[in-house]
Structure 1
Amino acid sequence: FDMFFARRSLAFSGMDIDNARAILVADAEDEEAEVQAQQQAVAAAEAEAAAMEEPKMKTVTVDYPTNFDPVAPAPKPQEQKPPPPAKKEDVVFECTVEDLQKLVIESPVPVLLDIYADWCGPCKQLTPALEQIVINAGGALRLCKVNTDQQRQISGALEVKALPTIFGMKNGKILNSFQGMPRDEQMLRNFLMGLLVPGETFNPPVTAEEKANYHQLSTKLLKVAAASSFSFSARERLQGRVAKLLDELVADIGGDTGMAVADDSARVLRSLMSNVIRDPFEEKFRRVNLANKVIAEKVAKYSSCVSILKSVGFVADGESALVVGKGKPVANVSPINVARDCIDKWVDQNRYNIAASARKRKDEIERVRIAAEAEEAAKNQVDEEEDESEEEEVDPNLCIIKYRIEGKKKLHSVDMDGNDTLATLLEKLELDDGESVQFTCAAKRLIVKSADEGKMSKTLKELRLMPTASIVIKIGEGKSSDVSKGSLAERNLAKKKKTGSHSMHSIGLYSQNDGNKAETFESGGVLYDHVLSDDEEEEEDATAENAEEDGDDNADENSSSDEEVDQDDE
């Protein structure tokens, strides 16, 4: 028992141990009874809450049939019977390139495309087995046989490398293939299950690389089928009709900008056709929503554009849509290809007219924009009071002189009065007294020296230096120095004293025993000694010497001729 309760019990019992123990036992029993009562109350509350949450049970009366026997065994499920065999001519076809679009691409059921040859032994064994399989399928499968020797276009598009080659196709697409004879019956069964049963995969599964390859082969086969199924005469009729409708489109639009607008519509048509050609299996590309903003403005607005779409196989699907290949797994892209090429040819033939019309349309849009801006500016124009700015008064006698000291680049400016003289300007320069100064103004063709008192005393207005002038000031006069050239003998002496010159003898071309420094060669030529120098001034000196010698010779000749004249006179 707890020490506190034990002491209290002893106190109540007058230190009688038996009575104290009895008190403690009674307290424990009361506490247990109280805890049980609380637990029962909580359980009752939870049960009541659960009962309120449970929905009320409804009584349902069932009327049993009079002959119902609850102990009778359940009926056995009916076994599914295989479909009745189909006729061979309904499921087995000899396919050519002309029938490829109808029999294979647009087939409503899966297709086994058998590429064989008459000389191929395994082909002769496999083809009858495939025929029996499609006959027993009761029309759920179709066999199209292609003789590779006669239909090279088909086998070339499918890149057949071995015989026989079997392609499993559905909705115009190649899903899987195998070459040669199947290894066993299970392999062929797995191939057919993946082709026929929805949601069933091939075993072994097709890899991503194989899927990409099959997609390319499907596209090639589709192009071959489309080109072969569209006759040459139908091609020519379609080309003529599309060209005529494009010309009618230009006539319907009219005006100088009609060709440019027609070009925009033709480009939208070409884009719609290119989408179908790029992926003829995608339904969203095969459907044209005429309520689209761009299509409604550039295609649906003109009956010629709608007629072009209908000419290539588009049909109405509701009030605001056109669809091609409706109800078929793939669209026939051959007429669409022809129409697109015809649009390209029409655009190329009229490119100059289209460019001229586009320029006119651009100019017209620009004129409308400018007119709208002018109208908007006129509406928003408000009367504003213009502040009259006071014109700054200009002194009529102000003369601005800009001068530069000769030999320096800095430009100075000084404000003077028109009645001031050049002497006043000279005083502002603060030059040394007695120094000669020359003023030069090239614009006014004016040269004035400080020694010229007459011009120095004239005003700037009289010298026509108003209102501004640029002057070059030359301080001091250059001194000319006479340079004495000296006599010919002095120059020759100076030349001999120059360092750095050398002769052919000094560099070893002649020996000391050559006598007069000349050498006779066997050919009869003579090599003379020449002075060689690195100094460029020697050439100038030699030129000057020749000129002076010529002058001396001329002087001698003139003197001799004068003497002869004097003798004749005598």
Structure 2
Amino acid sequence: MPKRKRKNMHVQRQHTWKKKNVPNFVLKRSKKKKDEAKMKTVNVKSGFDPSQPAAAPKAPPKGAPGPAKKEDVIFQATSETLQKLVLESPVPVLLDVYADWCGPCKALTPALEQMAIKGGGMFRLVKLNTDEERNISAALEVQSLPTVFGIRDGKIVHHFKGMPRDEKMMQNFMMGLLGAAKFNPLVTAEEKENYEELSKKLIKIGGASGFSFAQRERLQVRTNDKLQELVDVRGDMSDAEETAKVIRSLLSNVIRDPFDLRFRKVNLENKIIDARVGQFPPALAILRSVGFVTNKDSVKKGLILGKGKTFVSVAPIMVARDTIDKWIDMNRRAIATALRKKQDEVARLKLLDEAEEVDTDEEDSDDEPEVLDPNECNLKLRIEGKKKIHDLKLAADDTLEDLINNLPVAVSKDKEITIICMARRLNVKSSNEKAMAKTLRESKLMPTASIVIKIGSGATQAGGSNSMKERAAARKSKTKTHTMQSIGIYAKDDNAKGELIDGGGGTWYEQDVTTDDEGEGAENTGEEEEKDEDIEPTEE
């Protein structure tokens, strides 16, 4: 018999022997324990009536929506679908910015999906992969993952970063997003301002991505054609530029705030808008090409953009505005030439009108021309040291003495008076009788002149003499003194004159240190006083 077969027979005999040698009560006890382990414990509530049928499960609250389909409430966003899925969503949006490598994102996203499905369409979940749409995440200033934005009517109302702290925090966020309650804590004014800026960036990106290159080119060509038609209609390049600037201003207001309905309305009854836009079909065609339509609900004649919408896409508006800017820049020289011609024509017409008015005044004037008296002298007179100017009329044959007698101020006879006229090089003192006897004609003050009257020149001379004497006395009193240190000798007590001086070898000398000019000053005092008396002040 082969060796392997004999071994198998040995194992089989051993196994049979073990079964045969196990007592029956042991086998029964083991089986009983296995059956008890399989049994389940059932707790029966008090008052349980087995004759009554089992209670049906509780129904959801009345009016609550049922679970929604996943494809109806959960979407994957891209740059092309951002406008439709997020900004134009009819319900609030949870925008989940995530990445495939982010661990917390993998834990949060399934929970958000379950919330959206159970919400029954009350809001939608839009997922955005930051690695694939970096321009959107950069515009939203995403700095950590996951980041969830709450968006309602195209505006960001709140956001949170990372995993929610607890269920209560997530519930409060959803209640605020749906408008059922306020966020807790409340959104600050600074956060609101930041959310408005982020919303505008999101609108620009969404609108630009959804506006194809072909649409952009068609709008540019149409705008350029209408601007050229505008030049033909207005007949002047500068007038066409005025209309283009008004259109550009209207478009810029919408771009600045696409949520404000005031900027999306154009009142054609306004004087400026009617004069520069409303009367010209090419200008109205440019506005209609970006979406403006007739506002039928308004009593006033006007246009409206995005009627019934919370906001509008700014992509076509930006294209039209940029096209207008480029057109103005390319035609800047022609516009400047037309404007200069227009200004010259206005100036020419103004000069013609002024000339006609002058001719009319000369024809209608019955007044005789004013006759000037050849013997009348008109003087503008000012007293030295005063600002007031006096008008004085004298005859040509009146003398300078008559001029002094007719001064507008009272002057004592003992004071000397000087008549000065810089234009005629006239400088006459009242003490000069010969000069004072000359007439105004001889003094060359005809027919008019400006003169200055100087009163009391003698006092000025005395004052000058005194000042000279004072200056001489000041120079005389100014002396030069020396200290012991300045001459290289150091006294026993520093800064003291006439002290004992150390001569060396234990010998001390007594020396008096005086000023340099003290000796000569006494001798020359009389001479200097005599010299001072001889100094005469120069006449100013």
The two structures share one fold, judged by TM-score above 0.5: yes
1:168 aligns with 2:150: yes
* Corresponding position of 1:295: 273
- The one of 168, 172, 178 equivalent to 1:190 is 172
In the alignment, structure 1 segments of 5+ residues that lack a partner are 1-77, 399-408, 415-427, 430-570
Amino acid paired to 2:273 = I
Report which stretch shifted further, 212-221 or 144-153.
Answer: 212-221
1:262 aligns with 2:240: yes
- The one of 86, 94, 99 equivalent to 1:112 is 94
Deviation string, structure 1 residues 548-567 (Cα, Å, up to 9, x no partner): xxxxxxxxxxxxxxxxxxxx
* Offset of residue 147 of structure 1: 1.1
- The one of 138, 143, 146 equivalent to 2:120 is 138
1:253 aligns with 2:239: no
| Cα distance in 2, alignment partners of residues 105 and 412 from structure 1 | 91
Task: Tell me, yes or no, if the aligned pair for 2:150 and 2:177 is still in contact at 8 Å.
Answer: yes
* Corresponding position of 1:322: 303
- The one of 362, 366, 375 equivalent to 2:347 is 366
* Corresponding position of 1:226: 207
| Cα distance in 2, alignment partners of residues 239 and 119 from structure 1 | 43
| Cα distance in 2, alignment partners of residues 150 and 190 from structure 1 | 31
| Cα distance in 1, alignment partners of residues 359 and 118 from structure 2 | 87
- The one of 80, 84, 97 equivalent to 1:102 is 84
- The one of 260, 263, 273 equivalent to 1:285 is 263
Closer, same or farther: CA 295–413 of 1 in aligned 2, 3 Å: same
SS at match of 1:249: helix
Deviation string, structure 1 residues 150-182 (Cα, Å, up to 9, x no partner): 111111111212221110011211111111221
Pairing 1:10-409 to 2, within 5 Å after superposition: 80-197=62-179, 200-254=181-235, 258-318=236-296, 320-373=301-354, 382-387=364-369, 389=371, 392=374
Closer, same or farther: CA 190–389 of 1 in aligned 2, 3 Å: same
Amino acid paired to 1:236 = E
Closer, same or farther: CA 377–79 of 1 in aligned 2, 3 Å: farther
| Cα distance in 2, alignment partners of residues 413 and 93 from structure 1 | 104
Pairing 1:429-444 to 2, within 5 Å after superposition: none
Closer, same or farther: CA 412–322 of 1 in aligned 2, 3 Å: closer
Deviation string, structure 1 residues 179-209 (Cα, Å, up to 9, x no partner): 12212111111001111125x3101222233
Closer, same or farther: CA 373–94 of 1 in aligned 2, 3 Å: same
Question: Under a length normalisation based on structure 1, what TM-score does the superposition of the two structures give?
Answer: 0.53
Closer, same or farther: CA 91–383 of 1 in aligned 2, 3 Å: same
Pairing 1:394-543 to 2, within 5 Å after superposition: 411=425
| Cα distance in 1, alignment partners of residues 368 and 130 from structure 2 | 94
| Cα distance in 1, alignment partners of residues 101 and 426 from structure 2 | 110
In the alignment, structure 2 segments of 5+ residues that lack a partner are 1-59, 377-395, 397-422, 429-433, 436-540
SS at match of 1:277: helix
Aligned length: 333
SS at match of 1:288: strand
Cα RMSD (Å) of the superposition? 3.6
* Offset of residue 259 of structure 1: 0.3
| Cα distance in 1, alignment partners of residues 270 and 207 from structure 2 | 29
* Offset of residue 312 of structure 1: 1.4
Closer, same or farther: CA 92–154 of 1 in aligned 2, 3 Å: same
Deviation string, structure 1 residues 511-558 (Cα, Å, up to 9, x no partner): xxxxxxxxxxxxxxxxxxxxxxxxxxxxxxxxxxxxxxxxxxxxxxxx
Closer, same or farther: CA 330–382 of 1 in aligned 2, 3 Å: same
| Cα distance in 1, alignment partners of residues 426 and 215 from structure 2 | 92
Amino acid paired to 1:267 = K
Closer, same or farther: CA 112–376 of 1 in aligned 2, 3 Å: farther
Closer, same or farther: CA 187–382 of 1 in aligned 2, 3 Å: same
| Cα distance in 2, alignment partners of residues 383 and 160 from structure 1 | 83
- Percent identical pairs in the alignment equals 55
Task: Tell me, yes or no, if the aligned pair for 2:144 and 2:162 is still in contact at 8 Å.
Answer: yes
Larger gyration radius, structure 1 or structure 2:
1
| Cα distance in 2, alignment partners of residues 186 and 210 from structure 1 | 22
| Cα distance in 2, alignment partners of residues 277 and 137 from structure 1 | 35
Task: Tell me, yes or no, if the aligned pair for 2:255 and 2:318 is still in contact at 8 Å.
Answer: yes
